Amino acid sequence: MRQSAVVFTDSFFQTADAKTAHGLVRGPSRFEIVALIDRAGAGRDAGELLDGKRRGIPTFADLDAMLRNLPQRPDCFVLGVATSGGVLPPSMRPTILAAIEAGMDVVNGLHEFLVDDPAFAAAAQRRGVRLVDVRRPRPRRELHFWTGAIRQVKAPRIAVLGTDCALGKRTTCHVLADACRRAGLNPAIVATGQTGWLQGIPHGFVLDSTPNDFVSGELEHAIVQCDRDLAPDVIFLEGQSALRNPSGPCGAELVLSGEARGVILQHAPARHCFEDQEHLGNVIPPVTEEIALLGYYRTRVLGLTLNHHDLPPERREPARTELQLATGLTAVYPLLEGADALVPAIQAFLREQRR
């Protein structure tokens, strides 16, 4: 049986900083999510807060209200935020300590490790609970270096990349996998972030906390294991950040070390600058430039997935049409309509790869 868990976002749930919580509320999850703690959303269903779909997950203003109203205390207390730099917001500290005192294991996906904090560590030892820091790197001796074993992998790889960070690339991997299953394909996902682990995706690693020399090898190892364990028709690789985001350039690893010959490119039409870089004037390059750049990596963009955040409903179709005309590719809004329209391009790509 899965452990039960409450997700804690303080008051960040309806912001991009709560993308970890969003993934757990939407699912899948290695935990049974029984509640959300978020002051700003108290009294409403977490699914309704997220996207208007009830999911039977009540939202409470604080820990005391949750403990009073739930029939049973959850097993785990999951930090549902993914802040810039992975820093723990100071406002969350008192509630985390209270959760430890209440006897719950605390699961943390931030770069700031709870086990290294004297106050948290002492409280956990006193109460006999676990502090799980998902991003803590494994010992060097357990890490893998790139060997070329990727050449033996049978399943073609499609990297789900983006023109920026915090676009929903991991969620899009799930939407694409669902569309492929409906078409009779057997897809798999290799996760590259802490939320993938929290969602229970069986193959992957946490890219941004892996020492640089081992990123390519850990990616290769995860793909090889996925191929051996599941024999999928296609493997979707979860992208991180963007090729040209100066605060965290990423993506080349997937198309070079992971030898992904296909790409689904995620873009937010309403976003002008890279996330949290508006004050610097760091403008996101045009999608057509990103597609051209990816071509130099010996990979091909198969379709576009669009993040509709901050895009008024009346602007969605014009934005889609503009991008489709500029690129010659099919574009979908995955959270609004799924990704079935991209399946023909994926199927054609798979046929090419088998030749």
Sorting pLDDT into bands at 50, 70 and 90, what band is 212?
very high
Are 311 and 269 in contact by the 8 Å Cβ rule? The answer is yes
Distance CA 277, CA 280 (A): 5
| Confidence (pLDDT) at 323 | 98
Buried b (16+ CB within 10 A) or exposed e, 40-77: ebbebbbbebbeeeebebbbbebbebbbeeeeeebbbb
Radius of gyration of the chain (CA): 20
Sorting pLDDT into bands at 50, 70 and 90, what band is 9?
very high
Give CB contacts under 8 A, 24+ apart, made by 294-298. Answer: 294/161, 294/243, 294/255, 294/263, 294/265, 297/252, 297/255, 297/256, 298/255, 298/261
**Residue 1 pLDDT more than 80?**
no
**What are the tens digits of pLDDT across the range 172-187?**
999 999 999 999 999 9
Topology of the domain covering 142-354: Rossmann fold (3.40.50)
Task: Compute the residue count for the chain.
Answer: 355
Are 330 and 303 in contact by the 8 Å Cβ rule? The answer is yes
Distance of alpha carbon 122 from its chain centroid, rounded? Answer: 31
- Segments making up each domain of the chain, as ranges: 4-133, 142-354
The residue type of 211 is P
The 157-162 sheet, strands edge to edge = 187-190, 234-238, 157-162, 262-267, 300-306, 331-332
Question: What token pair was written down for 267?
Answer: 């873009």
Q: Where are the alpha helices (H) located in the chain, listed in sequence order?
A: 19-26, 46-51, 63-69, 93-101, 118-127, 169-182, 194-198, 212-230, 252-256, 287-296, 313-327, 334-337, 343-354
Sorting pLDDT into bands at 50, 70 and 90, what band is 355?
confident
**Residue 354 pLDDT more than 90?**
no
**What are the tens digits of pLDDT across the range 79-138?**
999 998 889 999 999 999 999 999 999 999 999 999 999 999 999 999 999 999 999 988
4-133 and 142-354 agree in CATH topology: yes
Angle (CA) 108-200-2 rounded to 5° is: 85
Angle between helices 19-26 and 169-182 (to 10 degrees): 20
Sorting pLDDT into bands at 50, 70 and 90, what band is 69?
very high
pLDDT (mean) for 206-234: 97
Out of 2.60.40.1840, 3.40.91.50, 3.40.50.720, 3.30.70.100, the CATH code matching 4-133 is 3.40.50.720
Distance from first CA to last CA of the chain, Å, rounded?
43
